[in-house]
């Protein structure tokens, strides 16, 4: 199953590996005790409510933010080593570009600042969107600007592409176009992608790996294919408004009462009573219940967790 | 295949590639500001050469220095404009070059764009500071050299004394050092404020405070003053015409100094009796001699360059430890 695509402990095959990673700002911890791994070649969704620490995590991985505790490795290279820079590309939420530069000058900037610049790929991406080369960036539409930012990111030939809500400000057509472009380029080169997004359907379509963050901690990490089957959506009869004792054997993520009935998102740890109605949840349902219940125990699929010593936890 | 790709009209013909990498980026980004400052420098430089030429011709016609040439630079419009431009240059560099240098990229997010390419934050900052400092240095050295060349042989004809800011700050090594220091100050204010407009206002206020008040106090304290004593009823010798008088006393024969106005009485009689009573026989001046100007200018430049180094180190340290 999912385990076949999870690499062994050889660190080179992990695109991103965090150990006890934490970032403290003056107002408190933005991210705390984060230990996780993302295998190379995957499309990883970074999910969490606003202020959960997603942007901080992406900032740490792109050297914009320095960790307060712990460390992060990108393809086995510590993130504080400048050698990480050519390996990663970052596309921020507002996709900053020099507004007075022309498209050609923006691409030249990519060529000037990146040793492994792939001019052919960058030009192909820009041309396929019919973005005029001599247009000033400030005059481009949102979709065209995103396309140019993508061209800059892919022209860098990154091994790891980090995206912070890349499609948030695009119209549905441009969003569809950019998703297709992203998937095509990433698959063609085997680029590992980590993207944060609020669009759960977008994540369901594109991502095969998930990192769920809430209140600065990792809630779930692992294969999308393995995380969902670990959950069950059960419906049963409540006992005078209280949960049935059978539920205590399982990990309860979220419970809701509807009249005499209860609905619960659980992680079954054994056989479930026959009189309960059991359904397999969708990824969206699993994510939503975790986001609603940040105190639920966290879940890592095999390989996704790193303990303090760096050995693989079960 | 790659050959055909580079043939595409990307506007990056190899012949135009004088600059590569980060230097190209910072020059491209700031090319308008760069052109404005360099243009202003060039114009002022030509103007100085022209005004000096005029002055030389005028003096030749009048037979100077054998004959008195009057005050040819008094109410001279060219001189007025040129000194205004040179005096305004620190403000221009601090407010329009220094303040937005990093703050502009922080505000627009392009700091993030550049530092997530394959260049480190420090490399980028050094390229940016390098551009601003080179501009300040080039502009300062050119204008200072020309202005010194204009002023020095004809300094007795200039309406300002050597210790005045107009001369002292705009000649020799002081002008380039001043421009560097205020550019660095603008950059530092920008890095702290992170927004262009407030940074420009901050840089404006800082420059105004420094050039109008603080530096005037520092300038006259840079040199070591000397004392000169001469008889009460004689004139100050001519060789002190160029000296800057920092203070003045009256003194008795045993060397006791009294406040200059101690015997300012209503009647001459009272005055004379006061002078007699205190045994006052000398005038005493505390002065800075013109011959000290060179040393003072290099000391001033040293102070300003040390300030520049401090501000630069602070900027690099500050930006390394927090997100851009």
B209 plus B233 within the same structural domain: no
Name the least confident of A54-63, A209-218, B2-11, B140-149: B2-11
B242 plus B199 within the same structural domain: no
Q: A96 and B113: CB-CB below 8 Å? A: yes
B187 plus B304 within the same structural domain: yes
B115 plus B193 within the same structural domain: yes
Query: For residue A174, what are the contacts with CB-CB under 8 A and spacing of at least 6?
Result: A142, A143, A146, A167
Domain count, chain B: 2
B218 plus B232 within the same structural domain: no
Name the least confident of A165-169, B134-138, B187-191, B304-308: A165-169
Asked if the structure places residue B298 within a domain, the reply is: yes
Can you read off the two tokens belonging to residue A11? Answer: 């660190």
B217 plus B233 within the same structural domain: no
Residue of A nearest to B11 (CA): A104
Asked if the structure places residue B6 within a domain, the reply is: no
d(CA B198, CA B100): 10
Q: What angle do CA A226, A231, A237 make, to 5 degrees?
A: 165
* Containing structural domain, residue B286: 226-291
Q: Distance (Å) from the C-alpha of residue A265 to the closest C-alpha of chain B?
A: 39
d(CA A251, CA A289): 13
B266 plus B120 within the same structural domain: no
Share of chain B above pLDDT 70, in %: 95
d(CA A293, CA A140): 42
Averaged over B40-45, what is the pLDDT?
Answer: 96
B251, B257 Cβ separation under 8 angstroms = yes
B190 plus B120 within the same structural domain: yes
- What's the half-sphere exposure (Cβ side, CA atoms, 13 Å) at B317? 6
ipTM rounded to 2 decimals: 0.82
d(CA A283, CA A227): 8
Is the minimum CB–CB distance between B110 and chain A shorter than 8 Å?
Answer: yes
d(CA B308, CA B306): 5
Asked if the structure places residue B216 within a domain, the reply is: yes
- Asked whether the predicted pLDDT for residue B14 surpasses 60, the reply is no
Residue of A nearest to B109 (CA): A96
Across chain A, mean pLDDT equals 84
Averaged over A231-251, what is the pLDDT?
Answer: 82
- More confident position, A279 or B9: A279
Can you read off the two tokens belonging to residue B192? Answer: 């702290």
Asked if the structure places residue B23 within a domain, the reply is: yes
d(CA B171, CA A251): 80
Averaged over A59-72, what is the pLDDT?
Answer: 89
d(CA B261, CA B264): 5
Residues 283-322 of B with CB under 8 A from A: 321
Closest CA to A167 of A122, A200, A214: A200
pLDDT digits (tens, 9 = 90+) for A173-184: 888 888 888 888
B196 plus B246 within the same structural domain: no
Is the minimum CB–CB distance between A132 and chain B shorter than 8 Å?
Answer: no
- Asked whether the predicted pLDDT for residue A242 surpasses 70, the reply is yes
Pairing assessment for the beta strands A217-223 and A299-300 based on DSSP bridges: parallel
B243 plus B107 within the same structural domain: no
B267 plus B126 within the same structural domain: no
Asked if the structure places residue B3 within a domain, the reply is: no
pLDDT for the residue numbered B170:
92
d(CA B283, CA B131): 53
d(CA B59, CA B154): 10
- More confident position, A252 or B185: B185
Can you read off the two tokens belonging to residue A119? Answer: 């001019």
pLDDT for the residue numbered A307:
61
Residues 8-27 of B with CB under 8 A from A: 8-12, 20-22, 24-25
Averaged over B112-138, what is the pLDDT?
Answer: 93
- Asked whether the predicted pLDDT for residue B252 surpasses 70, the reply is yes
d(CA B143, CA B270): 55
Asked if the structure places residue B144 within a domain, the reply is: yes
pLDDT for the residue numbered B41:
96
Structure confidence at residue B238 as a pLDDT band (50, 70, 90)? confident
A253, A230 Cβ separation under 8 angstroms = no
Can you read off the two tokens belonging to residue A102? Answer: 């022309």
Q: A64 and B324: CB-CB below 8 Å? A: yes
pLDDT for the residue numbered B16:
60
B280 plus B163 within the same structural domain: no
Pairing assessment for the beta strands A299-300 and A277-279 based on DSSP bridges: unpaired
Identify all chain A residues contacting B110, using CB atoms and an 8 Å cutoff.
96-98
Structure confidence at residue A290 as a pLDDT band (50, 70, 90)? confident
Averaged over B208-226, what is the pLDDT?
Answer: 90
Please state the φ and ψ torsions of residue A73, each to the nearest 5 degrees. Answer: -120, 135
d(CA B235, CA B255): 19
pLDDT for the residue numbered B96:
95
Q: B12 and A111: CB-CB below 8 Å? A: yes
Asked if the structure places residue B149 within a domain, the reply is: yes
Please state the φ and ψ torsions of residue A268, each to the nearest 5 degrees. Answer: -65, 140
- Asked whether the predicted pLDDT for residue B219 surpasses 60, the reply is yes
- Asked whether the predicted pLDDT for residue A292 surpasses 90, the reply is no
- More confident position, A122 or A295: A122
- Asked whether the predicted pLDDT for residue A9 surpasses 80, the reply is no
- Asked whether the predicted pLDDT for residue B296 surpasses 50, the reply is yes
Q: A156 and B117: CB-CB below 8 Å? A: yes
- Asked whether the predicted pLDDT for residue A6 surpasses 70, the reply is no
Start-to-end Cα distance in chain B: 39
Asked if the structure places residue B9 within a domain, the reply is: no
Can you read off the two tokens belonging to residue B210? Answer: 């420094």
Of A63, A85, A96, the CB nearest to B108: A96
- Asked whether the predicted pLDDT for residue A295 surpasses 90, the reply is no
């Amino acid at each position: 199953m999912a385990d076949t695509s999870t690499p062994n402990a050889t660190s080179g095959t992990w695109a991103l590996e965090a150990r006890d990673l934490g970032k403290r700002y003056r107002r408190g911890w933005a991210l705390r005790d984060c230990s996780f791994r993302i295998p190379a070649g995957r499309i990883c969704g970074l999910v969490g409510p606003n202020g959960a620490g997603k942007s901080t995590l992406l900032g740490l991985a792109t050297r914009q933010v320095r960790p307060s505790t712990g460390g992060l490795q990108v393809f086995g290279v510590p993130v504080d080593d400048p050698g990480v820079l050519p390996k990663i590309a970052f596309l921020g939420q507002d996709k900053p570009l020099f507004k007075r530069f022309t498209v050609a000058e923006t691409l030249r900037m990519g060529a000037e600042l990146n040793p492994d610049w792939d001019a052919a790929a960058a030009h192909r991406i820009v041309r396929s969107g019919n973005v005029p080369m001599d247009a000033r960036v400030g005059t481009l539409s949102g979709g065209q600007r995103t396309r140019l930012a993508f061209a800059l990111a892919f022209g860098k030939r990154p091994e790891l592409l980090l995206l912070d809500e890349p499609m948030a400000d695009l119209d549905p057509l441009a969003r569809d176009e950019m998703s297709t472009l992203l998937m095509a380029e990433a698959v063609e080169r085997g680029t590992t992608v980590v993207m944060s997004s609020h669009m759960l359907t977008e994540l369901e379509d594109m991502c095969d790996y998930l990192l769920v963050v809430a209140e600065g901690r990792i809630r779930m990490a692992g294969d999308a294919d393995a995380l969902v089957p670990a959950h069950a959506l059960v419906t049963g009869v409540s006992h005078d408004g209280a949960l049935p004792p059978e539920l205590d054997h399982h990990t309860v993520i979220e419970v809701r009462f509807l009249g005499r009935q209860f609905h619960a998102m659980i992680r079954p740890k054994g056989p479930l009573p026959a009189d309960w109605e059991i359904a397999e949840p969708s990824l969206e349902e699993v994510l939503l219940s975790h986001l609603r219940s940040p105190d639920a125990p966290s879940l890592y699929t095999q390989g996704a967790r790193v303990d303090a010593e760096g050995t693989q936890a079960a | 295949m790659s050959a055909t790709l580079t043939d595409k009209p990307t506007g990056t013909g190899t012949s135009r590639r004088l600059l590569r990498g980060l230097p190209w980026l910072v020059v491209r980004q700031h090319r308008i500001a760069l052109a404005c400052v360099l243009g202003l420098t060039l114009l002022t430089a030509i103007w100085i050469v022209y005004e000096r030429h005029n002055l030389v011709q005028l003096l030749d016609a009048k037979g100077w220095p054998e004959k008195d040439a009057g005050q040819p630079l008094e109410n001279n419009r060219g001189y007025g404009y040129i000194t205004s431009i040179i005096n305004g240059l620190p403000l221009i560099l601090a407010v329009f070059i220094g303040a937005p240098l990093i703050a502009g990229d922080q505000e627009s997010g392009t700091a993030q764009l550049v530092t997530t390419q394959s260049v480190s934050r420090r490399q980028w900052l050094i390229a940016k500071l390098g551009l601003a400092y080179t501009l300040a240095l080039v502009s300062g050295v050119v204008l200072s050299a020309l202005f010194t060349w204009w002023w020095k042989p004809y300094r007795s004809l200039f309406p300002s004394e050597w210790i005045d800011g107009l001369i002292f700050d705009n000649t020799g090594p002081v002008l380039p050092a001043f421009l560097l220091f205020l550019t660095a100050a603008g950059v530092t204010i920008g890095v702290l404020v992170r927004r262009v407009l407030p940074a420009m206002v901050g840089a404006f206020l800082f420059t105004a405070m420094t050039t109008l008040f603080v530096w005037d106090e520092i300038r006259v304290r840079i040199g070591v003053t000397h004392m000169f004593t001469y008889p009460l009823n004689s004139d100050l010798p001519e060789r002190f015409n160029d000296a800057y008088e920092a203070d003045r006393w009256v003194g008795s024969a045993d060397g006791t100094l009294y406040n200059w106005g101690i015997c300012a009485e209503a009647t001459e009689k009272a005055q004379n009796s006061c002078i007699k009573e205190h045994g006052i026989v000398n005038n005493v001046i505390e002065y800075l001699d013109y011959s000290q100007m060179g040393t003072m200018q290099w000391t001033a430049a040293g102070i300003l360059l040390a300030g520049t180094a401090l501000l630069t180190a602070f900027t690099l340290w500050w930006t390394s430890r927090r997100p851009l």
